[in-house]
Structure formats: structure tokens, C-alpha cells
Amino acid sequence: MQTIGRFAPSPSGRMHLGNVLCALLAYLSARRQNGRFLLRIEDLDAMRCPRSFADLIMDDLRWLGLEWDGEVLYQSERAAIYERYAAILRDKGLLYPCFCSRAALHAASAPHLSDGRVIYAGTCRGLTPEQIAEKRKTRAPATRVRVPDEVVRFTDAVWGEYAENLAEECGDFIVQRSDGVFAYQLAVVVDDALTGVNEVVRGADLLSSAPRQIWLYRQFGFTPPRFAHLPLLCDHDGRRLSKRDEDLDLGLLRQRFTPEQVIGALACAAGLADGPEPIAAYELISAFDWSKIPRHDLFLPDIFRS
């Protein structure tokens, strides 16, 4: 079966180095297997994701030499499709309206031990139709999906075996926000499945999303993809890079470096090259191998220190 990979950025700002690393490895893995590499713009929240940012991301990807195949998909145009899949969950009796405010959620939820994630306490799980009708008068609800007390396991290309009990470690999660916007967890599964994506490469911050996504794949009758969650980039103080590190966004990096310098430094940080010498992305394809990618956080290459 042909490999179909993808890069799925949320255009709430300019790409930063972490996004570039993710795009690079998704591209290299797909190309190494003679596969296709798709681009999807995750602009579900259209208010926070203007088209101008999506255009910049595409311009930056071309500058980096990370060419994608085919049409670009915009999640903001696909609400009707997500609705069809939400209806499948609804028909199975898995959805319920949740009226909890953010403050109520934090007050009632048990924090997850390892990563601070809050697990929904189930406050709205058992509301009667009368209670729902009453609450609707004052508040638009979000929609949650009821998860089973079930362990979901998978083998990640970087981290190996990963397992999570959905009820204990995740809890019922939101598939549609109270303003009608569909949630990332639902949209990402529907889009990857419908576009034939069978290899998902993304940051390790999303590792714990994979079990609930795999469970959704099964609910829809789809086969889950292979996952590869990348170690995160951190600065020399061990702090993970974020969109707030504006000095490392592509707008400024493009003024200071060539694409080959950016790619070469990231390839070295990720264990794909011995030194940070400039190199074009396509030149890394033939030697790409997941076994080279380390499991620890990656240090920001020296050339990017200001």
C-alpha cells in the first residue's frame, strides 16, 4: 500500500522551528517510501486562523523545499462533513450535551497525574431530557463523546508501545464546542481517514491524543494510521519552544538563513546528519530512517541562538 503522509499545521501564526521539524520529518518519511505528502490547513477556528497565515505557511514550505502533493485541504470548509461523522456517534448514543463552564470543569475534575491534563468528571453525563431542555434556555452546550473503560494500545514509530485507559486517563472529550466549531480530535480523524492518510507524523505533545483518535477511527469503521510522534525542540535552558518564541519564526529566520542552513541544522538536531552543514531537504530522503530519531527532547541548534 502506498504511504500517504501529511503535514497539518494550525495557522494561528507563522511557522516556528518545531513546525518546520515536523513538516521536514513527515515529508522525509513519506518520500523515503515513495509515498504522497499532503498538506491540510487546520483552521477549524476560523477567527484565530486568517487565510493570510495559511498563505505564509505555504510560502514558507516552498521556501524550505518541502513540496506537497495535490490540493490543500482547509478544515474551515468541511463542517458539513464533520457533522456527518458526529451523527454516526450520535446514532450510537455516544454523544451528550455538556453545559459545564470552564471554571466548573476545573473545580470538578481530577488532574491527570503525569501531565496535568484534566479528566472530565462526568457532571453532564446523566442529565435527563428535562434537565437538558431547562439548561439550554440559558447556555449553549458543548458536545461530548462518552468513552468506554477500555485500554487503547498502539506502537509509535518513535516511542514504541503506548497505552491509555480512555475512561481513567482521558475521560469523555469534546467533539463540538458550544459555538458549533468541531473539535480537533474529531476533525483530524475524519480528514486523515477520508484522504487516505496512513502515516501521521507530529509533535510528541499530541502523543496522548492518539488513543482517543484511534478509538474514533474504530467507531467510524476506519483503519488507524501509523503514528510517529516527534521529540520536541527545546532551548538551552531545557524550555520547550512555543509560538511565543517569535525570534524563531520563519519570518525572521528567512532574513538570517538560507533554507539549506535551516534544514541542515534541524537534521543534525534530529540525528539525521553528523554535522549542521547546509543541505537541501530532498538530499536527506535516501538516508531517512525512524530508528535515528531520539526519544529525548532535542536541543535547539546553535546557529539559531541569538
Give the three-class secondary structure for 193: helix
Q: Of the two residues 35 and 122, which places its CB atom closer to ligand GLU in the complex?
A: 35
Q: Of the two residues 9 and 301, which places its CB atom closer to ligand GLU in the complex?
A: 9
Cβ-closest position to ligand GLU: 202
281-300: buried (b, 16+ CB within 10 Å) or exposed (e) per residue?
Answer: beebbeebeeeebeeeebeb
**Residue 231: CB minimum distance to ligand GLU, A:** 15
Give the three-class secondary structure for 124: coil
CA 17, CA 14: separation in Å to the nearest integer?
Answer: 10
**Residue 43: CB minimum distance to ligand GLU, A:** 9
Q: Of the two residues 14 and 202, which places its CB atom closer to ligand GLU in the complex?
A: 202
**Residue 271: CB minimum distance to ligand GLU, A:** 21
Q: Of the two residues 79 and 104, which places its CB atom closer to ligand GLU in the complex?
A: 79
In the complex, the residues that contact ligand GLU under the rule CB under 6 A are 8-10, 42, 188, 202, 206
**Residue 8: CB minimum distance to ligand GLU, A:** 4
Contact 302/264 with Cβ under 8 angstroms? no
Cα end-to-end span (Å), the chain: 45
CA 213, CA 206: separation in Å to the nearest integer?
Answer: 10
- Residue in the structure block whose three cell numbers are 519564526: 249
Q: Of the two residues 132 and 206, which places its CB atom closer to ligand GLU in the complex?
A: 206
Q: Of the two residues 167 and 206, which places its CB atom closer to ligand GLU in the complex?
A: 206
**Residue 19: CB minimum distance to ligand GLU, A:** 7
> Which stretch of DSSP H or E encloses residue 153?
strand 151-156
**Residue 201: CB minimum distance to ligand GLU, A:** 8
CA 116, CA 96: separation in Å to the nearest integer?
Answer: 25
> Which stretch of DSSP H or E encloses residue 105?
helix 102-108
From residue 164, alpha-carbon distances to 158, 210, 213, 252 in Å are 17, 9, 12, 40
- Phi, psi of 22, deg, nearest 5: -65, -45
The answer for residues whose C-beta is within 8 angstroms of residue 45's C-beta and 6 or more apart is 12, 181
Q: Record the cell numbers describing residue 19, joined without a space.
A: 513546525
**Residue 298: CB minimum distance to ligand GLU, A:** 17
Q: Of the two residues 13 and 264, which places its CB atom closer to ligand GLU in the complex?
A: 13
Q: Of the two residues 142 and 200, which places its CB atom closer to ligand GLU in the complex?
A: 200
**Residue 200: CB minimum distance to ligand GLU, A:** 6
Q: What is the DSSP string of 126-139?
A: T--HHHHHHHHTT-
